[in-house]
A and B are shown apart, each in its own frame.
Chain A
Amino acid sequence: MSTIEEELLERAKLQEAVHDRDREIAELRARLATWEDQYGAVPKRDTLFTTVSGREVRPLYTELDRPDAAAADGDDRLGFPGSYPFTRGPYATMYRTRLWTMRQFAGFATAEETNARYKYLLEHGQTGLSVAFDFPTLMGFDADHARSLGEVGVCGVAISSLADMERLFDGIPLDRVSVSMTINGPAIILFCFYVAAAERQGVDPAVLRGTVQNDILKEYQAQHAWVFPPEPALRCIVDMFEWCSENTPKYNPISISGYHIREAGATAAQELAFTLRNGFEYVERGIARGLDVDAFAPRLSFFFDIHNDFFEEIAKLRAARRIWARGMKEKYGAKDPDSWRLRTHCQTAGVTLTAQQPENNIVRVAYQAMAAALGGTQSLHTNSMDETLSLPTEKAVRIALRTQQVLAYESGVPNTIDPLAGSYFVEHLTDELERDALGLFEEIDAMGGVVPGIEQGWFQQEIAASAMRQQREVEAGDRPVVGVNHFLEGSEKLEIDTLKIDPAIERRQVEKMAAMRSSRDDESVQRVLAALTEACRTEENVVPRILDCARAYCTLYEIRAAMEEVFGAYKEPVFF
């Protein structure tokens, strides 16, 4: 055959293939039209067919919703697990190699009581620790500060100095257990207490594994436990990136968190967009400092909320990985695949728990946990059923942990990687969430970026408006909440035990602080604090200075005050 004949034959084959495909699509359309007639002829339930975020979902998705899925481009959007753009999972083998880390967030009363709870959790098969601090610690106040009155040890554990941190991990080998710490405004200080506590155990910081939340942008947007204004706060975070990349290479110096944004009222798309845009902001700050993006980006970690809408939450995690990978590679020029790989912790949505018929919460949490696993999370906290009433009791925490174990060991969910890939609906939702997030990025960029958006109250107002819409839906009865606006039992009395924090704990903690203060070398305390203030005035990395303060048993508030002298304190723009 001549070349021309070959070409003609090739072309004919191709045309035939195109015709076949056209015929298939036409056939599919016809069958869909038949189904649509059937669907249209039958009455529907009188309810909202939208996700909890208000997203319209159609009754049926078909191949027609992803016409290009079979094309080469389709592969680009999914890839394989462990390869760019990581839609199908950050690791090639996922739960076949290692299940997600079961990490229950815990902390209450004093370091001693919390230490006992940690040992209890580790004995019951938990595989990582997660520290919940009390409000004074979260805001950078010591237990004996006037502003701490009535709040010491109530919502978490009180940690005011290295002495408390040493007691918190007494008998827990920090070279073997990974520890996550939820602290933001004064994160850099608590991190230094932690490193110093490891040193006291004889543990080399280089082997420390774990995460400090350290995500200040979402504090201004949603969670509101801040200390310093945005610019100095961001400087401290970049100081941590730099110091950790050299000294604690296995430790995550940030957990970029959508959780609190979502809990404050955001929709799934807002959570996704604000979180990732915050993440890119930190990357830009690191690059602006002159750091090599591949030196710090691999240690950036994430934290998402897993809310009620099962498929939207799964799609959200898949979209998050794709958006992050593409941004890091294409926009920020990262070359190391570890910089593209989004790793995340998840927590079931506290805001979905009800005080009414609280045992129902066990079921809500179980569905949410399953969505987290199907979405490919790396670690998970499952909420306890009693968390709208108090801090969880030991029994409630155990049930929450067992929920994860049933999921991991009995359901079969971890056996196959990204099992929902290729679902017309899930892929469509993933694409849609990605598109929504990119649209919100444009809005944020049009305001001049994340910090101007915070200063103008834009994020806060967007989140509050979403919260109000959801409240209206619930109060109108349009959004069913079992036990709250549907299926009431008349008297929704509490039938479970709740945890009570003894008010004497505050007094005991204050006494311990006094003893610690009187046993210190005051001269060295003053010297290291003054050196820290000086470092804040320059461009010097402040981590080594804060570590010196930690080792000298300076308190949280003393260190905060030494920094505040230069940095000032954050004042929120008030509105509602």
Chain B
Amino acid sequence: MSEDRKIRILVAKPGLDGHDRGAKVIASAFRDAGFEVIYTGLHQTPEMVVSAAVQEDVDVVAMSVLSGAHMTLFPRVKELLDEAGADHVLLTGGGIIPEEDVLALEARGIGRLFGPGTATTEAIEYVNEWFQARQSA
């Protein structure tokens, strides 16, 4: 991890889906790995997620979507982040997202999306690498 400061990450649950087991596990894992973690709680609109991201000045937004609404929610949050001048923020996440949708979302500027069975260490490593690359860029 960066020697300068802790990476700030917003773990968000957008949409109406209440399945927060994954979001809470990943939030705890990031915290244990030394990140500054903010968790939004459930049932957030894209506007609420972006407003929290801007207010908390985070580096990363990690969204958990198990509801199948990922093709609506990820692009909308990305669009609002860009509009808010927060296009430097990494938007990543996980959930039940078919591979073809993962590829389509990546093509629209969204970071890696992790599926069921992913080890938390894999997501942590990804965010660390992204952050280091950004720092050295």
Whether A and B are associated in the same complex: the answer reads yes
Q: Does A388 contact B (CB under 8 A)?
A: yes
Q: Does B18 contact A (CB under 8 A)?
A: yes
A150 and B11: CB pair below 8 A?
no
Using C-beta atoms within 8 Å of the partner chain, give the interface range for chain B. 35 or more
B15 and A471: CB pair below 8 A?
no
- Interface residues in B16-68 by Cβ distance below 8 A to A read 16-21, 23-25, 27-29, 31, 37, 39-43, 45, 67-68
Set B18, B21, B40, B43: member contacting A265, Cβ < 8 A? B21
A484 and B21: CB pair below 8 A?
no
Q: How far is the CA of A351 from the CA of B16 in the complex (A)?
A: 20
Nearest Cβ in chain B — how far from A57, in angstroms? 25
A155 and B17: CB pair below 8 A?
yes
Stretch of A135-143, A373-381, A429-437 lying at the B interface: A135-143
A154 and B67: CB pair below 8 A?
yes
Set B18, B21, B23, B96: member contacting A225, Cβ < 8 A? B18
A150 and B41: CB pair below 8 A?
no
Q: How far is the CA of A265 from the CA of B29 in the complex (A)?
A: 15
Given the known A-B contacts A264-B21, A265-B21, are A355 and B28 also in contact in the complex, defined by CB atoms under 8 Å?
Answer: no
A-B complex: 6 closest residue pairs judged by Cβ atoms: A150-B72, A224-B18, A574-B41, A135-B16, A154-B68, A150-B69
Residues of A within 8 A of B (CB): 135-136, 138-139, 141, 147-151, 154-155, 219, 223-225, 263-265, 351, 354-356, 388-391, 464, 467-468, 471, 475, 481, 484, 494, 498, 500-501, 503, 572, 574-576
Nearest Cβ in chain A — how far from B119, in angstroms? 5
Contacts of A468 in B (CB 8 A): 24-25, 28
A355 and B116: CB pair below 8 A?
yes
Name which of A154, A223, A575 has the most chain B CB atoms within 10 A of its CB. A154
- 20 further A-B contacts with Cβ under 8 Å, apart from A223-B19, A464-B21, A574-B40, are A135-B15, A135-B67, A139-B43, A141-B16, A149-B72, A150-B69, A151-B67, A154-B67, A224-B42, A264-B20, A354-B117, A355-B116, A388-B115, A390-B96, A464-B25, A481-B117, A501-B68, A572-B42, A574-B41, A576-B37
B interface, over-half SS:
loop
Q: Does B125 contact A (CB under 8 A)?
A: no
Q: Does B128 contact A (CB under 8 A)?
A: no
B21 and A467: CB pair below 8 A?
yes
Name which of A148, A151, A264, A575 has the most chain B CB atoms within 10 A of its CB. A151
Name which of A223, A351, A467 has the most chain B CB atoms within 10 A of its CB. A467
Task: Give 28 CB contacts A-B under 8 Å.
Answer: A135-B69, A139-B43, A141-B16, A150-B69, A150-B71, A151-B15, A151-B68, A154-B69, A219-B18, A223-B19, A224-B18, A224-B43, A225-B16, A264-B19, A354-B116, A355-B115, A356-B117, A388-B115, A388-B117, A390-B96, A464-B21, A464-B25, A468-B25, A475-B119, A475-B120, A494-B99, A503-B71, A576-B27
B69 and A464: CB pair below 8 A?
no
A155 and B67: CB pair below 8 A?
yes
Nearest Cβ in chain A — how far from B46, in angstroms? 9
Nearest Cβ in chain A — how far from B79, in angstroms? 13
Contacts of B132 in A (CB 8 A): none
